[in-house]
Amino acid sequence: MATKRLATLALAGAMLLGACGQQPSDIAAPVATAPASNAAVRNLGLYELHIEGGAGKKAHAYVTRVGGAALSAQEVSGLTFTLKSVAVSGTDARSYAAVIGVENRGVSRIAVPTYVPVAVSNYTEAGTYFVQGATKTSDGSTVSASGITIAQAAGGTPLVNVTGITAADFSVPTGTTVESVSSQGWQSNAGLEAEAIQDVTFGFDIPAGNAAYRFSLVFGVFDKATPWINELSYDTAATNDAPEFVEVVVPAGVDTSNLSLVLYNGNGGASYRTDSFSSTIVSTTTVGNHSLYTFNYPVVNGGTLQNGAPDGLALCRGTELVQFISYEGEMVATNGCANGQTSMNIGVAQANTTPAGQSLQLNGSGNKYSDFTWQAPATATPGALNNGQTLN
Ligand SMILES: [Ca+2]
Ligand SMILES: [Ca+2]
Ligand SMILES: [Ca+2]
The reported pLDDT for the residue numbered 32 is: 39
Span from the CA of 301 to the centroid of ligand 2 (angstroms)? 15
Please indicate whether residue 170 or residue 85 has the higher confidence score (pLDDT): 85
Span from the CA of 299 to the centroid of ligand 1 (angstroms)? 10
Q: Flag whether pLDDT at 356 surpasses 90.
A: yes
Q: Confidence class of residue 226 from pLDDT cuts 50, 70 and 90?
A: confident
Which residue pairs from 270-278 have beta carbons closer than 8 angstroms and sit at least 24 positions apart in sequence? 270/333, 270/334, 270/335, 271/314, 271/333, 271/335, 271/336, 272/306, 273/304, 274/336, 277/248, 277/250
CB 382, CB 357: distance < 8 Å? no
Q: Confidence class of residue 219 from pLDDT cuts 50, 70 and 90?
A: confident
How do residues 92-132 score in pLDDT, each as one tens digit?
667 888 999 999 887 677 878 888 887 766 554 433 344 55
Looking at all shown ligands, the one closest to residue 230's CA atom is 3
Looking at all shown ligands, the one closest to residue 359's CA atom is 3
Kindly tell me the sign of the dihedral angle through the C-alpha atoms of 327, 328, 333, 334.
negative
Span from the CA of 343 to the centroid of ligand 1 (angstroms)? 19
Span from the CA of 326 to the centroid of ligand 1 (angstroms)? 14
Domain ranges in the chain are: 2-224, 228-391
Span from the CA of 260 to the centroid of ligand 2 (angstroms)? 20
Span from the CA of 271 to the centroid of ligand 2 (angstroms)? 10
Among the listed ranges 199-213, 233-247, 284-298, which one has the minimum average pLDDT value? 199-213
Span from the CA of 369 to the centroid of ligand 3 (angstroms)? 14
How do residues 251-289 score in pLDDT, each as one tens digit?
877 778 889 999 999 999 999 999 999 999 999 999 987
Looking at all shown ligands, the one closest to residue 294's CA atom is 3
Span from the CA of 305 to the centroid of ligand 2 (angstroms)? 9
The reported pLDDT for the residue numbered 181 is: 75
The reported pLDDT for the residue numbered 127 is: 37
Nearby residues for ligand 2 (ion, Cβ within 5 Å): 265-267, 306, 311
Q: Phi/psi zone of residue 385: left (φ > 0), alpha (ψ -120 to 50 degrees), beta?
A: beta
Looking at all shown ligands, the one closest to residue 308's CA atom is 2
What whole-number distance in Å separates Cα of residue 26 and Cα of residue 32? 16
The reported pLDDT for the residue numbered 50 is: 83
Looking at all shown ligands, the one closest to residue 349's CA atom is 1
Cβ-Cβ contacts under 8 Å for 347 (sequence gap 6 or more): 374
Q: Flag whether pLDDT at 367 surpasses 60.
A: yes
Q: Flag whether pLDDT at 374 surpasses 70.
A: yes
Looking at all shown ligands, the one closest to residue 311's CA atom is 2
Q: Confidence class of residue 361 from pLDDT cuts 50, 70 and 90?
A: very high
Quick one: what percent of the chain has pLDDT higher than 70?
A: 73
The whole-number average pLDDT for the span 196-204 is 91
- DSSP for 137-171 reads TTT-PBPPSTT-EEEPPTT-PPEEE--S--GGG--
The whole-number average pLDDT for the span 210-231 is 81
Q: Return mean pLDDT, the chain.
A: 79
Looking at all shown ligands, the one closest to residue 378's CA atom is 3
> Which helix or strand (DSSP H or E) is residue 7 part of?
helix 2-20
Span from the CA of 54 to the centroid of ligand 3 (angstroms)? 58
Q: Confidence class of residue 28 from pLDDT cuts 50, 70 and 90?
A: very low
Span from the CA of 268 to the centroid of ligand 2 (angstroms)? 8
Q: Confidence class of residue 3 from pLDDT cuts 50, 70 and 90?
A: very low
Please indicate whether residue 159 or residue 331 has the higher confidence score (pLDDT): 331
